Amino acid sequence: MSGTLLIKNGHIIDPANAVDGVANLWIKDGKIVAIGAYDGEAEREIDADGKIVCPGLIDMHVHLREPGQEWKEDIESGSRAAVAGGVTSICCMPNTGPHIDHAGIALQIIARAKQVNLCNVHPIGAVTKNLEGKELTEMRELSRCGCVAFSDDGLPIWHAGVMRKALEYASSFGFMVIQHAEEKQLTAGGAINEGWISTQLGVSGMPAEGEDSMIARDIMLARKADARYHVAHISTQGGVAMVRQARAEGLKVSTEAAPHHFALTEEEVLGYNVDAKMSPPLRTEADRLAVIEGLRDGTIEVIATDHAPHHEDDKRCGLSCAAFGIVGLETMLPVSLDLVRAGVLTMSELIAKMTSNPARLLGLDAGTLSVGAEADVTIFDADATWMVDREKMVSKGKNTPWHGKTMTGLVTHTVKAGRIVFAEGDVCG
């Protein structure tokens, strides 16, 4: 976009460049041209006094549902929800219909995202054909067509032999394999975390061992293959401990945490609350604290939402049969800001987990305010409060456990390639 945009008086935090202070940010023709002094005149201005100015957020774990389930979400509605939450780059998971297991679907998604033109959309390709866990996809071809990593998310790569081959093949090209860590033989039929609350509600549970055993198996395979292995939406204290140990050994192991797993516990499902049903499930307070400690000590490098929109009919059918998943794009930032308020992370550390860290893991040219970089910028008021109203959410999915709850932290502007795509609650387009 042509023209010069000045974002003035904001507290600029750019972890990639160790920038943390009040300054002006200058954007010209869609690129960052200066932080501080600049010999030019602004055609447009945003006064960010009292607000944080940071790189556009990156969410590396999003379900956009298109193609195949557009009544739940589509690329346009998902992109609008993203920029409303300050997210300028999203990575979409392959459990669409058809799946992102061949080049044509990846190219279709990228083309559609360019038409919508609100945020970057990077496909994550399937590891196995039809997500069946049996036969590997053409990962090299998918990579050439824009896939930035590989996963069967929504389902685990259950077969150990197939996972070994996937890691060995991915290792030869430097690809990252993302695992939905769940041993289905242990979790089959489960709806929530296995424990006292599942017993109290009379609902089948999903034991933590279902996640832990898969992570343990995969770390052994990743060690043998010298592969890049990433645990999606980690939720157990055992899982965090194993990833910590693997990283201490120097293995190429990484992980992410979803806001709901460090902000909520299994008690949220009391009263048969279907909006608190997700996979992996909300777990115990001990697990929640372990995830927080993993974020604090750097074991968990990324915060990602696992944004999983559903139609109301898929949720309003009882806890046992309701679909897994919640929406998260519009609430990721304020929920995560609680980590700063609690002294777990500095503001710069938090922003790194949603910008430079996922960019580095995925090889994205994003997550920074470096001079010359594409001007993807998020501006937010860390102290502003607002109430979550599912009916006012931009996403087609209204399945959130935060409905009616007060949030602290409000995105005021989202800038994509120098263009204001969101301001004061309205998508500018």
User: What is the distance between the alpha carbons of residues 273 and 62, in angstroms, rounded to a whole number?
Assistant: 22
Backbone angles phi, psi at 28, to 5 degrees: -140, 130
CB contact at 8 A, 206 and 180: no
User: What is the distance between the alpha carbons of residues 409 and 333, in angstroms, rounded to a whole number?
Assistant: 7
Q: Is 381 a catalytic residue?
A: no
Q: Using omega within 30 degrees of 0 as the cis cutoff, is the peptide bond preceding 334 cis? A: no
CA atoms within 13 A on the CB side of 183: 15
User: What is the distance between the alpha carbons of residues 376 and 92, in angstroms, rounded to a whole number?
Assistant: 19
Contacts of 222 (CB under 8 A, 6+ apart): 167, 228, 229, 246, 251, 252, 253
The β-bridge relationship of strands 205-206 and 426-427 is unpaired
Q: Nearest-5° angle of CA 194, CA 195, CA 197?
A: 105
User: Among 287, 306, 314, 376, which one carries the catalytic annotation?
Assistant: 306
CB contact at 8 A, 425 and 15: no
User: What is the distance between the alpha carbons of residues 165 and 167, in angstroms, rounded to a whole number?
Assistant: 5
Nearest residue to 187 via CA among 158, 159, 164: 158
CB contact at 8 A, 330 and 395: yes
CB contact at 8 A, 210 and 154: no
User: What is the distance between the alpha carbons of residues 252 and 255, in angstroms, rounded to a whole number?
Assistant: 10
Nearest residue to 349 via CA among 305, 295, 299: 295
CB contact at 8 A, 328 and 354: no
**Which residues are identified as catalytic?**
306
